[in-house]
């Protein structure tokens, strides 16, 4: 199968995940770029941020039109995450790729386990607490910068578990957080990164954007608890695969 076809298929799957689940895009993008398309870990994490930034920004629009974005909550998360994302991205550039891959797998696995153990996230909305929102946002920003991911796979459970958003509102709001955090991390990563293969990155991004629109329709047809379980299972499978690969 040609590289272009693989890029289009992988991009469509990532877009579906990002549009439907408000996260999981990066956690699927990085292994796809490494294991399917031959990117190095450093190039994959940088390319992933570009792909997920564009895809999440376009998907954010449709969620906002539907009223599923909590702007104040998302902006608090994003503002708190920017300094942490910048600092963590600078630190990650000094660490070996194997360590970053193992950390990536561990964080994704922990997020999956938390969501599987949590009750169905349909309990209603709690008032936003700025201190808790800022603290969680800083942590998500650090993960974005350190692992080269948008952070949506942690943003959704944080927005639900910490701030009490309903699942669909958490999905929409997480896209705002992903966009801002990814842009911040890119300002550090693109400065000293190796040239990217745009013949792969561009079609991957285009397919992801189109897939995200279909993913948005999926959220209207599937209940919050089902989305939560799908999200957790996908994360757990990817985490197990990547962790197994690092210890071979």
In angstroms, the Cα distances linking 101 to 53, 187, 195, 242 are 20, 21, 21, 7
Kindly give the residue spans of alpha helices, DSSP state H, lying in 93-129: 97-117
Positive/negative CA dihedral, 109, 80, 141, 89:
negative
Which residues, 6+ apart, have CB-to-CB distance to 198 below 8 Å? none
Selected residue with higher pLDDT from 179 and 154: 179
Predicted confidence (pLDDT) per residue in 8-17, tens digit: 999 998 888 7
pLDDT at position 201, please?
93
In the chain, what is the straight-line distance between the N-terminal and C-terminal CA atoms, in Å? 26
pLDDT of 219 strictly over 70: no
Q: How far is 15 from 175, CA to CA, in rounded Å? A: 12
Whether the CB-CB separation of 4 and 203 falls below 8 Å is answered with: yes
Is residue 134 helix, strand or coil?
helix
Q: Tell me what the mean pLDDT of segment 10-36 comes to.
A: 79
Q: At what angle do helices 167-192 and 41-65 cross, to 10 degrees?
A: 140
Query: What pLDDT is recorded for position 207?
Result: 93
């Amino acid at each position: 199968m040609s590289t272009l076809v693989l890029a289009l298929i992988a991009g469509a799957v990532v877009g579906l995940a990002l549009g439907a689940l408000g996260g999981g895009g990066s956690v699927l993008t990085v292994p796809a770029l490494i294991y399917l398309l031959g990117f190095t870990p450093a190039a994959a994490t940088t390319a992933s941020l570009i792909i997920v930034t564009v895809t999440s920004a376009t998907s954010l629009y449709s969620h906002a039109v539907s009223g599923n974005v909590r702007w104040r909550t998302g902006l608090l998360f994003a503002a708190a995450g920017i300094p942490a994302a910048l600092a963590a991205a600078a630190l990650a550039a000094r660490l070996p790729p194997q360590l970053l891959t193992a950390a990536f797998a561990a964080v994704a696995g922990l997020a999956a386990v938390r969501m599987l153990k949590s009750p169905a996230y349909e309990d209603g909305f709690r008032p936003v607490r700025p201190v808790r929102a800022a603290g969680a946002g800083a942590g998500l920003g650090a993960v974005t910068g350190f692992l080269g991911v948008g952070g949506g796979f942690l943003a959704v459970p944080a927005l639900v578990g910490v701030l009490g958003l309903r699942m669909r509102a958490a999905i929409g709001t997480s896209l705002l957080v992903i966009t801002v955090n990814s842009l911040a991390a890119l300002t550090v990563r693109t400065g000293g990164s190796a040239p990217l293969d745009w013949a792969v990155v561009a079609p991957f991004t285009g397919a992801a954007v189109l897939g995200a629109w279909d993913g948005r329709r999926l959220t209207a047809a599937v209940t919050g608890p089902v989305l939560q379980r799908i999200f957790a299972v996908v994360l757990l499978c990817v985490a197990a695969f990547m962790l197994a690969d690092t210890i071979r």
